[in-house]
Structure 1
Amino acid sequence: MAEKDIKKTPAATQTVQPSADKYTVQELENASTKVFGVPRECAVAAFKGCKKTEMTVAEAKQIIDRFMKKEVK
């Protein structure tokens, strides 16, 4: 039997990052002063149009930042 040249490819080198914890909107609103530095009322208003019920802190921060930078009419 003839020997075959088998090329070994390195195992998947992707690093698996742990998924970020998700929190409910209510938890994020309650912790808004400590986590985002905004009053709870601002977080409630920022999440009002959001259809998500759970999100990461980074996602919530983006939503709150976008809301806080909106021009007041």
Structure 2
Amino acid sequence: MQHALEHLAELLERSPHTPVRELEILPGEERGYLLEELNRTEAAYPSERCIHELFEAQVRRAPEAVALVH
């Protein structure tokens, strides 16, 4: 958090008239990690089955788990 705030302070010093919404607040490396690395969640999806069948199978595997939150 400290590093991000220091980075933001440097950006504001260099571009005092730039609106904050236009500043790249996160350093490139951290931005890449948060938006790309942590989002690598691709998984195979059994497209031959309907969603309700997948839901029912999950209920059978873990009947004590929360089924749905809305």
Q: Under TM normalisation by the shorter chain, which class is it?
A: under 0.3
Which protein, 1 or 2, shows the higher relative CO under an 8 Å CA cutoff with sep ≥ 6?
1
Query: Could you say which structure has the higher helix fraction?
Result: 2
- Larger strand proportion of the pair: 1
Q: What is the TM-score with the length of structure 1 in the denominator?
A: 0.24
TM-score by length of 2: 0.25
